[in-house]
Structure 1
Amino acid sequence: MKTNHLFLLALLSIAAPLSATQQSTFTPSPPHPITISPSHHLTLLQVDSLVTEHSLQLKASLLEVSAAEAQLSQAQKYENPEVQVMHNVQNPENRRWFDASRHGQTDVQLSQPIAIGGQHRHKVRQAAASLRATQAAHDAAVLDVLHDARVAFAELHATLAKIDVYDTQIASVEKIHAAYSEQTANGNVSAVQTLRIQTMLNQLLAERTQLFAEASEQQAQLALLLNIRNPSGGALVSSAPIALNIQNSIIPTISADEVIRSASANLQQLQAYITHSTFHTPHSTLHTLFANRPEVLQAKWNEEALEHAVKLEKADALPRIAIQGEWDKNGSIGHNFFAVGATVSVPIFNRNQGNIRAAKAAQAQAAIARQQCTEQLRATLLTHYAAATENLKLVEQQRPLAAQLDAMLEAAETQFAKRNISLLEFVDIYDTYRETRLQMEDTLLQLFKSNEQLRRYL
């Protein structure tokens, strides 16, 4: 391959005038085999809308929030009073069964538990903090599902763009193969060269078939994330997801210029945060940025819920008190005896010390988890910031090559048809074109992914 660098430079110089009249673009049109009818050209805004409205995972997360709200409502309720009624079966004086007369015996007791020392208050506050933690977990789930859907959308776009690269080469090789087959039949070209071109064509078709299968799987996965189907070829309808097939496809629409602008803006904004802030200063801008993250808020409210759990266990160590009242119709003291009193549990053998220690350990674990969450966010931010910076530089360097590569491929086809370059040089140029274009699509995809990670912080 090194021996052909002069030919590549020569072809690039030939292709330069051709590329001067062409507008460079980094977003190839969807390949022909995928653009079937009906097809759905989706944008990232439409993906976001479909996810927030119809995602099954987010619906399940909302049900968890509803359950936490119900638990808070239940925790706010006080304990019910207990009523005990005793009535004689047989009056021993007059031998009457279930005597309800003045001489019968009926005893009614009423008991109402009373919460003291925060036994009720801390239970309510613990449930309220758990509700806030569940809501923060839902917010984090929204970000996660949106991120997964947008990344799956970009991966599908990259795969379709790669298929478009193969379609371009396949069309060119098919044209050359047809011409060489005719010349071979006339005895002007060796059958070996025609067979080599046929082999090259078969290899391109096989690799394209693999990409097509990958794109089909990505379409099915994206449809599952979006929870969409198309029952009649019309507009997208939210329903149970189905695996997309040749009659039902998603065509992603992503602007490479928009990806670059978004990545540049996010990098500049985060650079200002990183330059003028520290990660551990409580009042720094970057610390505030982390503090408002759903994951950090979830860890914060989990810690607060466990803090109230410790206080609740301490309150449960206090005596249990219940106010009692009694009416005795014909007791030993006299007729219509009324009495009030209280029952108090005496914490001698069980002072709830084990549960208190367990709650304190859980609270300490929650504090560590909160700190670990912040540190993980810090490390992740720096990693994706560095990755986005490098990918942005590489994408900007590669962008001018797109039109030149297309012109080089066209020039190589022309020169090979005129037999100005050998078959090996022709194959080398084609391999270089394909590898470079595929690498460009991968670099753009990596920039999109790293930028999506940065968006989660802003």
Structure 2
Amino acid sequence: MQTRLIMLGVAALSMPLLAVAAQQSGQQTVLVAERPHTSAPTTTGTIITLDEAIRLALASNPTLRSATQSVAIADATKSQAGLIVNPELSVLREGMDRANRTQTVQINQRLELGGKRSARVDVAERERQMALQDVAVAQAQLRADVTTAYFEALIAQERLELAQASVQVAEKATLAASKRVTAGRISPIEESRSKVAEAGVRLELAQALSELSLAKQRLGALWGRIDAGPLSLERPAGDGTALPPFDMLRQQLEAGPQLRRARNQVEREEAQVRLERAQRVPDLTVTVGSQRDNQIGHNQAVVGVSFPLPLFNRNQGNMLAALRRTDKARSDLDAERLRVSQALSEAYQRAQLAQQEIASITTDILPVAQTTYNAAVTGFEAGKFSFLDVLDAQRTLFQTRAQYLRALSDRYRSVADLGRYVQLRPDQSK
């Protein structure tokens, strides 16, 4: 319905505005723009839908690619954490005289006790889970960023179309005013005002072109491109009229990527505590070898066991630090829960406010502005209103349409922000 109103409004603005009476003959001539219109820039190009824009970003965004590579790093770290300690080969020689020297060859193998290896693998697995959650957070952020950038470009595209229609109307209005001045029906001041109005809308057209170019560049940057190239955007089917209840969305926060990552951080620090506790258990080193005494020509086996005595260093400092990091991770989880809850609430309120503004504009303000503009044009054609009245009505209509586009952009941006924290189904944002 909203798209239909915009199309009807643009069609109305593109119609010939004015008619003047012929001199002394009583005949009326409908005025059209006899001078050529300034060629309006177009936004034609490859049509990109929102879903296609998101797929392009997920496939080629360098930030997301970096986060994905962190998972491969975590996999390699986990693989390394599960390896057994290498044995040591030791060769000892006592004496330099070949006849009297003693030579010992032995292998030392350190045996990790206290579950160190399994605890180390557990820590690496928690880090891998955090890397996976980093990817999930990056994907949610990227989807929201693409959605925001897409609709900013879409709104800029519609603003450009509106500015192009405004230029055409202003050209026709200036031509009509010029002819009426020549006919002596209005003051030359009215023609000057129409020229000022035309210069203003041309400036708005230049600004709209610049905004659209920048918006497309921001969208292309999310695809990893410096220049997005010529493309055209289309509004998704259905602008969305209702949001799911806020309590329903808030219940989904715990399953959101931000809180899952924060919980994984707590689990990672708890696994680190278990590793530091296992480090307090001394490792056992087993020695097996052979000793040869050249003086008597005899070989004998060497077997030994050694382990450190935990008299001074019992890993108490690392243990305390791990416990404190766990407490910090729990506090960070509570802080993150408050942050995302507040952010969700603010985005939800902004979306509701924007939706109310859209409903008010399309139901009350825009139809009245359109009716007022049509009446001003009709009255001007009949000689009842001045051209200034037409300009005021036209300005009000354009401002109303611009306000509608801003409200539409605010709603899309707010819904995109909601998608950073919860998974919105397609029917929930409509």
Cα deviation for residue 89 of structure 1 reads 9.0
Cα separation, 2, equivalents of 1:105 and 1:51: 70
Are 1:27 and 1:254, in contact at CA under 8 Å, matched by a contact in 2?
Answer: no
- What TM-score do the two structures reach when normalised by structure 1? 0.78
SS in 2 for 1:319: coil
Cα separation, 2, equivalents of 1:122 and 1:75: 9
SS in 1 for 2:353: helix
Are 2:43 and 2:157, in contact at CA under 8 Å, matched by a contact in 1?
Answer: no
Matched, 1:450 2:414: yes
Give RMSD over aligned pairs: 2.9
Matched, 1:254 2:235: yes
- Structure 1's 323 and 25: CA in aligned 2 closer, same or farther, altered over 3 A? same
SS in 2 for 1:219: helix
What is aligned with 1:14? none
5+ unaligned residues in a row in structure 1: which ranges? 1-21, 94-102, 228-240, 280-285
Cα separation, 1, equivalents of 2:306 and 2:40: 81
Matched, 1:267 2:234: no
SS in 2 for 1:342: strand
- What does the per-residue CA deviation read over 1:403-457, in whole Å, with 9 as the maximum and x for residues that have no partner? 6645544543443354422243233212211211111111111111222233442
- Structure 1's 109 and 390: CA in aligned 2 closer, same or farther, altered over 3 A? same
1:387 pairs with one of 330, 344, 350: 350
What is aligned with 2:380? 416
What is aligned with 1:226? 223
What is aligned with 1:357? 320
Are 2:160 and 2:208, in contact at CA under 8 Å, matched by a contact in 1?
Answer: yes
State how 1:3-402 maps to structure 2 within 5 Å: 23-25=4-6, 33=40, 35-36=42-43, 39-86=45-92, 90-93=96-99, 106-185=103-182, 189-227=186-224, 241-244=225-228, 248-255=229-236, 258-261=238-241, 264=242, 266-268=243-245, 270-271=246-247, 273=248, 286=251, 289-330=252-293, 335-400=298-363, 402=366
Cα separation, 2, equivalents of 1:104 and 1:413: 118
Are 2:163 and 2:208, in contact at CA under 8 Å, matched by a contact in 1?
Answer: no
Amino acid at match of 2:407: T
Cα deviation for residue 137 of structure 1 reads 1.1
Q: Quote the sequence identity (%).
A: 21
1:428 pairs with one of 361, 381, 392: 392
- Structure 1's 179 and 424: CA in aligned 2 closer, same or farther, altered over 3 A? closer
Cα separation, 2, equivalents of 1:290 and 1:90: 75
What is aligned with 1:440? 404
Cα separation, 2, equivalents of 1:51 and 1:162: 25
Cα separation, 2, equivalents of 1:146 and 1:27: 32
Amino acid at match of 1:342: V
- What does the per-residue CA deviation read over 1:80-131, in whole Å, with 9 as the maximum and x for residues that have no partner? 11112346895343xxxxxxxxx87542121111111122121110110111
SS in 2 for 1:260: coil
Amino acid at match of 1:457: V
Cα deviation for residue 321 of structure 1 reads 2.0
5+ unaligned residues in a row in structure 2: which ranges? 15-38, 424-430
Cα deviation for residue 329 of structure 1 reads 2.1
